[in-house]
């Protein structure tokens, strides 16, 4: 097949040779016959979930006789007047978007909403390519479904774009719609965060574990995808990479299917480390935002914070996994970009500036769920259990693991207990008793603290 050149919905020119061959190859792997659509559905329409579905739509949506790509979000969510007015400005600043809406007879409703004569809903603007959490970045038009059963019952691939705090509830509902399935779907989770469980022993529950327990889908069919990705930048064709992690059965073929010229996907077997790091980076990104704000973007202060928080991340992953993937390459880059520009870092900045209050909760209009807040509570609760005690390297006595994580402790006091304000994060960094981060890393790499029970293993 001769490659074609097309203009994408974001205005970029794309050389699309070979896409149909990749689609056909993946269909063959799944055993799809002619006329049997490959059905892909995104569950959850936050920024990353919407962009991920839009990337697939841009690449494969034209092959309508071979693939169907849809996204589910709850119906009934209204767009407030301020957002409607801003959305109107975005539309009129982009000639390609304006022309598209006029051609689809969809422009008038945005005019009426700006004037206050009409209420817009999140699901209807998503159909036009606007994610409520990211209206400044228009996406391609999407096929949106608000009925969960209709969306998932016959899906071959389900993309979990839900926050970790909503994953269990939604997939428990999905289980009811899959009771008569002959073969399980493939599930790709984009969710970052964990839950802590204390019975029968303290352990974490990651989003992929939540999905497996909620649905009964075999673990080999559930994968995690993450990387140094800012959703809006990826859709605007900024070069990026990611890893899809899980069992070999699907990850290699999925990596090839998902790979694009500007979005390189590699495969990796270490699902646990990548998924836990996905939750941890959001925890420490909030603190990074606070440090940036409180020090007027001091590069020195931010680098000191980076050294200490990454050492805590390494320590925590070595508690969970005997031989975790090293915090290097894409894993380190993912942490770096999240601390630099993610929504959790933005949240930390706004809290430190006093422009947001903790009383406003962790679901912020225009940003979505700030997943790092609940993750702070979960990791602290888990690592403060005395039954997991480790030997303190200096004091030579048993302590809860959290005692070796002063930044995590401070974030808990700020965000969850509300005993201190954001300036406490700087006090924690400037504590003269703070050890060299290298010592924490050496302790972690000694394997002396590995706790397999934290993953629910005997």
Residue-level pLDDT at 449: 66
- Phi, psi for residue 309 in degrees, rounded to 5: -70, -35
- pLDDT confidence bin for 447, thresholds 50/70/90: low
Quick check: 12 pLDDT over 70? no
- pLDDT confidence bin for 11, thresholds 50/70/90: very low
| pLDDT tens column, 335-394 | 888 998 889 999 999 999 999 999 998 888 888 889 899 999 999 999 998 888 877 777
Rounded Cα distance between 320 and 317, Å, is: 5
Rounded Cα distance between 124 and 103, Å, is: 16
3-class SS letters over the chain = CCCCEEECCCCCEEECCCHHHHHHHHHHHCCCCCCCCEEEEEECCCHHHHHHHHHHHHHHCCCCCCEEEEEECCCCCECCHHHHHHHHHHHHHCHHHHHHHHHCCCCHHHHHHHCCCCCCEHHHHHHCCCCCCCCCCCCCCCCEECCHHHHHCCCCEEEECCCHHHHHHHHHHHHHHCCCCCCCCEEEECCCCCEEECCCCCEEECHHHHHHHHHCCCHHHEEEEECCCCHHHHHCCCCEEEEEECCHHHHHHHHHHHCECCEEEEEECCHHHHHHHHHHHHHHHHHHHHHHHHCCCCHHHHHHHHHHHHHHHHHHHHHHCCCCCCCCHHHHHHHHHHHHHCHHHHHHHHHHHCCCCHHHCCEECCCEECHHHHHHHHHHHHHCCHHHCEECCCCCCEECHHHHCHHHHHHHHHHCCCCCCCCHHHHHHCCCCCCCHHHHHHHHHCCCCCCHHHHCCC
Contacts of 14 (CB under 8 A, 6+ apart): 5, 6, 7, 8, 58, 261
Rounded to an integer, the average pLDDT of 205-218 is 95
Distance from chain centroid for Cα 285: 13
| pLDDT tens column, 222-243 | 999 998 888 999 999 999 999 9
Rounded Cα distance between 131 and 125, Å, is: 7
Closest CA to 86 of 125, 53, 143: 125
Please give the structure tokens belonging to residue 443.
Answer: 């302790």
- Phi, psi for residue 10 in degrees, rounded to 5: -95, 10
The number of residues making up the chain comes to 458
Across 206-210, 324-328, 339-343, the highest mean pLDDT is recorded for: 206-210
Quick check: 440 pLDDT over 60? yes
Rounded Cα distance between 449 and 383, Å, is: 12
Across 318-327, 339-348, 411-420, the highest mean pLDDT is recorded for: 411-420
Alpha-carbon distances, residue 396 vs 271, 312, 331, 390 (angstroms)? 33, 19, 32, 9
Please give the structure tokens belonging to residue 130.
Answer: 């606007």
Residue-level pLDDT at 48: 95
Rounded Cα distance between 128 and 131, Å, is: 9
Portion of the chain with pLDDT greater than 70, in percent: 95
| pLDDT tens column, 87-98 | 999 999 999 999
Rounded Cα distance between 205 and 221, Å, is: 17
Strand order in the sheet with 263-268: 144-145, 67-72, 38-43, 157-160, 186-189, 222-226, 240-245, 263-268
Quick check: 4 pLDDT over 50? no
- pLDDT confidence bin for 34, thresholds 50/70/90: very high
Q: Which residue has the higher pLDDT, 321 or 362?
A: 362
Contact 294, 350 (CB under 8 A): no
Rounded Cα distance between 40 and 9, Å, is: 20
Please give the structure tokens belonging to residue 66.
Answer: 């071979």
Q: Which residues are catalytic?
A: 281
Residue-level pLDDT at 7: 46
Q: What is the pTM of this model?
A: 0.89
Task: Say how many CA atoms lie within 13 Å of 91 toward its Cβ.
Answer: 23
Contact 134, 50 (CB under 8 A): yes
| pLDDT tens column, 249-306 | 999 999 999 999 999 999 999 998 899 888 899 999 999 999 999 999 999 999 999 9
- pLDDT confidence bin for 186, thresholds 50/70/90: very high
What value does the mean pLDDT of the chain take? Answer: 90
């Amino acid at each position: 097949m001769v490659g074609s050149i097309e203009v994408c919905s974001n205005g970029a020119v794309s050389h699309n040779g070979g896409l149909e061959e990749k689609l056909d190859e993946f269909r063959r792997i799944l055993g799809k016959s002619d006329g049997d659509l490959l059905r892909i559905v995104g569950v959850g329409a936050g920024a990353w979930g919407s962009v991920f579905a839009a990337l697939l739509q841009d690449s494969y949506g034209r092959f309508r006789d071979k693939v169907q790509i849809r996204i589910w979000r709850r119906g009934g969510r209204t767009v407030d007047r301020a957002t409607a007015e801003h959305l109107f400005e975005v539309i009129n600043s982009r000639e390609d978007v304006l022309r598209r809406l006029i051609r689809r007879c969809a422009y008038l409703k945005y005019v009426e909403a700006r004037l206050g004569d009409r209420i817009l809903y999140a699901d209807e603007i998503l159909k036009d390519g606007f994610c409520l959490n990211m209206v400044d970045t228009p996406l391609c038009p999407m096929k949106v479904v608000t009925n969960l059963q209709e969306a998932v019952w016959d899906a071959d691939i389900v993309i979990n774009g839900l926050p970790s705090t909503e994953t269990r509830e939604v997939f428990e509902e999905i289980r009811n719609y899959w009771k008569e399935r002959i073969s399980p779907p493939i599930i790709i989770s984009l969710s970052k965060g964990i839950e802590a469980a204390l019975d029968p022993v303290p352990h974490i529950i990651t989003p992929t574990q939540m999905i497996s327990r909620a649905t009964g889908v075999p673990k080999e069919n559930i994968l995690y995808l993450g990387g140094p990705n800012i959703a809006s930048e990826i859709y605007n064709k900024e070069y990026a990479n990611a890893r899809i992690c899980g069992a070999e059965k699907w990850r290699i073929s999925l990596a090839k299917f998902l790979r694009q010229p500007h979005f390189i996907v590699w495969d990796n077997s270490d699902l646990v480390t990548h998924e836990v790091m996905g939750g941890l980076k959001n925890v420490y990104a909030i603190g990074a935002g606070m440090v940036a704000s409180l020090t007027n973007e001091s590069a020195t202060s931010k680098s000191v914070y980076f050294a200490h928080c990454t050492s805590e991340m390494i320590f925590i992953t070595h508690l969970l996994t005997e031989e975790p993937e090293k915090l290097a390459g894409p894993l380190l880059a993912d942490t770096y970009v999240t601390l630099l520009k993610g929504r959790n870092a933005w949240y930390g900045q706004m809290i430190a500036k006093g422009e947001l209050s903790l009383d406003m909760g962790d679901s912020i209009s225009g940003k979505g769920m700030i997943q790092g807040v609940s993750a702070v509570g979960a990791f602290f609760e888990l690592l403060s259990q005395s039954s997991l005690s480790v030997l303190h390297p200096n004091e030579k006595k048993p302590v809860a693991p959290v005692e070796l994580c002063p930044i995590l402790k401070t974030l808990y006091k700020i965000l969850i207990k509300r005993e201190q304000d954001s300036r406490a994060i700087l006090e924690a960094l400037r504590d003269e008793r703070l050890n060299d981060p290298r010592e924490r890393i050496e302790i972690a790499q000694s394997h002396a603290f590995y706790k397999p029970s934290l993953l629910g293993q005997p």
